[in-house]
Amino acid sequence: MDAPNPQHTIIDSLTMEAEFEVPLEGKDFKTASGKFIKLAKHSGFCHGVKKAVDKTINASHQNTTDEQPTYVLGQLIHNQQEIERLETMGIRTVQTLAEIPDGANCVIRTHGAPPELITQAEARGIHVTDATCPDVRLVQNKAIELAKEGYTVVVVGKENHPEVIGISAFANEVAGAVIVAINHPAQIAEKLANVPKRRIGVVSQTTQMEDTFFDMVKHLSMVAKELKVYNTICPATFFRQHAAADLAKQVQLMIVIGGKNSSNTTHLADLCNELGTPAIHIETAKELENLSVLQSAHVVGITAGASTPEWLVQQVLDFLKTQ
């Protein structure tokens, strides 16, 4: 029997909150030496990340105790340079709830947090501002829905990623829920070995690569008798991946700007390399200094992950203008 075609699998695409994307058309330029720099149509901060940063700064401004910082439980976004900028405003990143004093202000990161942590914080009088990305919140809700319907819930993503940890924790609050995080088809047999496989429900980490997600769906369709799939890759990830792929076909080198610990940024670099266009993943313009591969390229493409602030992108562009 032929393997099921993923296109024949019923996929209920999750309707996400629409974000207003401003295309970066007409902003290409030539450098001092005549290199041609082309910008991806969509790159940099997405709506959810910008909203989270604004919420965090507002929470800090509302802090009436000047001596006490506003705390963020885990990195607000996966960009160390932006985290350092926020620290200058009195916004401190901590890794555990125990590091936050009773009665302090606490912000939940864009990736979300397990519900028990929020309950514990509120029980200690900690004032919680939830900056969970709306798209991540929708994935949490879909995972809960699948668990309530009795599906074994597969989250396509890295099990140790904070977003996946949060999604799994919310779904696990459903009595009898079975939640499994799988990041590659090769892991399916091992991960599903001891769980019910007849009815499987699927959601995705919002920053997952499209090809990986649909490849997972194809392989899961060979395992389950009933498969219910929500495509929860967020619109910003979709726009950035497609814009980077389009641009990679037009240039000799891609520069991908963003945190080395950012999944969506790393995926952009991987995507370009897979298409045959060399990609350099950098966090700051300093990493481009005296780089031979940059010096030899005449047409260079620029993109940035959804967690990369505009000011960092601008620093890279300013550096390239002098080259």
Please answer whether residues 89 and 61 qualify as being in contact, where contact means their C-beta atoms are separated by less than 8 angstroms. Answer: no
Angle at 77 (CA atoms; ends 73, 83), nearest 5 degrees: 80
Selected catalytic residue, list 19, 99, 163, 226: 163
Q: What b-and-e string marks burial along 99-137, b requiring 16 or more CB atoms within 10 Å of the CB? A: ebeeebbbbbbbbbbbeebbeebeeeebebbebbbebbb
CB atoms within 10 A of CB 59: 20
210 is catalytic: no
Which is it for strands 91-94 and 127-130: parallel, antiparallel or unpaired?
Answer: unpaired
What separation in angstroms does the CA of 230 have from each of 49, 143, 201, 220, 237? 22, 9, 8, 13, 16
H or E element at residue 139: helix 134-148
**DSSP per position, 283-323:** SSGGGGTT-HHHHH-SEEEEEE-TT--HHHHHHHHHHHHT-
Q: What positions carry a catalytic annotation? A: 163
